[in-house]
Structure 1
């Protein structure tokens, strides 16, 4: 048996420059908006009289809805192209942000900030954009290109978090959400830059049905291990991203410190994700992932061990920024490397679903355990232990293309 190409090919593809510019801009908007949601925790809960758990539950549902819808958004993008999925996701994003501003009940807030925005993010972020990259960028540049797209999402955090903080202070938290709803609509014209030409089957190409692709992936141990590692990634980054402002406020630091910290995470993640994509072309990606998860746990241990000052917060934010989304390019590149690009958006969506289960638990347990104990300590310790587990899980991942039995030409 020998490795068989796993996807249709086309004589026409989008240019590398077009894919990177439009894909990066879309990820900058979609990820940049969501990275600042932690800034709304205090004003929303104080204005509405809700607990932190109520706010946290809405964002937890957002993450799980994003993850659950991701494979289906990926299936549609693989089958019909990314354009339609991106446009639908942009309008859902705008609607969710607007309704989030006017929701007066916890249930309404959960439906808008949770369900609608979660569905929107499934169609406007990495799985869909990476599918376009996988189908239009040569394998030898794929990990690097994914690093560029991930770096754009990080730049979105660096750019948007201070803007969102300024909008909340200048116009109020509700009007700030209306402005962001308008900004989300800018994804629509950018999506037309990712409109792919029709793909024709190449002679002798190996074609899988969705069911065959899923059975193959979920029965493959390396895919399972990647999902486990990504679960931990989601737990760590969403807990920190949402609860960091409140954690710092509880310890007497000003809101500006939290804003600066989130912006620093975004800034340094630009370098971290780009470096991870570049290194993924040269080094075994499984070792790169293991190192990232271990370094995260070490960074958290040191952060909790030293006196909490603005300087210690900024140093922690810079280190975590380098490691923040640096798991994204190597993880997705391994999926493409093992299974090919025919069902890449769908399989990437399933891996990301595990990330979002972790995100759900990270953000929800952060609020739940805080309300129960008055402290975030237990969740910090969980984040450390899970990081070590993810480090160990990624070490045995096999990165080589899966070996398949050739399909007879008559089939």
Structure 2
């Protein structure tokens, strides 16, 4: 990575990364709207589309550490431009490919690769390096709020596009939007020079240090649960509501939009609170609150009102783990390899995402309902609440200076 002496202000970095995150997260948050039309058009079961979504999330995680390494080494701008092109290609692939195996593999690789270069992991490094330590948690909260705004704003747009021009042309329109917005924004992401003082590590040294440190492993375990819960709900919620008799598509649109709207508040508040309170306690509380919210949603009578209340509450908890998790990583290991280490933690998140979205389709195909998967999400939430409690957030003590 070659720092730029003309590096922009934190405000500019937050604006540009925020717009990139808005599209990256907003577009993929609405993929659940395509589950039924694509499955019906191609005579697939829900398992096929679910597997494609699962592979997308898995590849997002697999490519994440490498995208982070590239961002830390060569700069975030190049990585974001490459990711925007991959993302657009993946949307075009989903619009045109009808062979199930090719659809699953191609969309999984392209969308997964695109997200790894344009979402949280790749963007976290430049945000952490630009923000002063006293504002770092707040800055991560702002970026989380930006991605949440995308989830809120793009839900009705995607649903309206599908209804107005068809599901295929909706993909074409989104592909054009991704390129036309992300590429110009990426050009402003010039790197600050804030990593030259103190002991210097190589990437292999940083990786070995992180994976030998117990708090990092606990973060991996907690983030696995986060991915499982969120992607299962995000992809399967529209179909679940229709199965239970809420056939008005507007209910599902409003539910996902409310998640995005309240996510803005939740992400920002998590970032602010992370600057004042121990982040491990906040993370534990979020996972426990999710488990309680899901349990109450399942036992309450299912009405549009109950769906909206559940969605709003889940929105407050949706991406609030992101600024806190990135803040813990930066606090322990510093910001030199923040994108890379965030990528490794996010890989665990995406393994959970893969299992959540695929298991939803797999068990639905065999059982005819989502009951078992809902129970799993509750149990995992309780486990995540417990594993986050013992995390030590203090900076790691390096006995011997690392080699340059």
The verdict on how the C-alpha distance between 1:87 and 1:292 changes in structure 2, with shifts beyond 3 A counting, is: same
1:95, 1:181 within 8 Å by CA — same for their partners in 2?
yes
Q: Which residue in 2 is equivalent to 1:232?
A: 225
Q: C-alpha distance in 1, partners of 2:194/2:216?
A: 28
Q: C-alpha distance in 1, partners of 2:385/2:196?
A: 39
Q: C-alpha distance in 1, partners of 2:45/2:195?
A: 55
Q: Deviations over 1:181-202 (max 9, x none)?
A: 00110200000111225x4863
**Aligned partner (choices 333, 337, 351) of residue 331 of structure 2:** 337
1:179 and 2:169 correspond? no
Q: C-alpha distance in 1, partners of 2:315/2:365?
A: 28
List runs of 5+ in structure 2 lacking aligned partners.
Answer: none
State the Cα distance separating 1:99 from its structure 2 match: 1.3
1:309 and 2:311 correspond? no
Q: C-alpha distance in 2, partners of 1:8/1:33?
A: 31
1:241 and 2:223 correspond? no
**Aligned partner (choices 204, 208, 214) of residue 221 of structure 1:** 214
The verdict on how the C-alpha distance between 1:80 and 1:134 changes in structure 2, with shifts beyond 3 A counting, is: same
2:201, 2:402 within 8 Å by CA — same for their partners in 1?
no
1:9, 1:201 within 8 Å by CA — same for their partners in 2?
no
TM-score by length of 1: 0.95
1:145 and 2:139 correspond? yes
Q: C-alpha distance in 2, partners of 1:44/1:83?
A: 34
Q: Which residue in 2 is equivalent to 1:251?
A: 244
Q: C-alpha distance in 1, partners of 2:277/2:162?
A: 43
TM-score by length of 2: 0.97
What's the secondary structure of 1:307's corresponding residue? Answer: coil
1:84 and 2:70 correspond? no
Q: Which residue in 2 is equivalent to 1:110?
A: 104
Q: Deviations over 1:288-336 (max 9, x none)?
A: 0000000000000100001100000000000000000000000001000
Q: C-alpha distance in 2, partners of 1:10/1:18?
A: 14
1:207 and 2:200 correspond? yes
Q: C-alpha distance in 1, partners of 2:100/2:253?
A: 25
**Aligned partner (choices 276, 298, 305) of residue 282 of structure 1:** 276
Q: Deviations over 1:78-98 (max 9, x none)?
A: 001001100000001111101
CA RMSD of aligned residues (A): 1.6
The verdict on how the C-alpha distance between 1:366 and 1:212 changes in structure 2, with shifts beyond 3 A counting, is: same
Q: C-alpha distance in 2, partners of 1:286/1:147?
A: 16
1:148, 1:274 within 8 Å by CA — same for their partners in 2?
yes
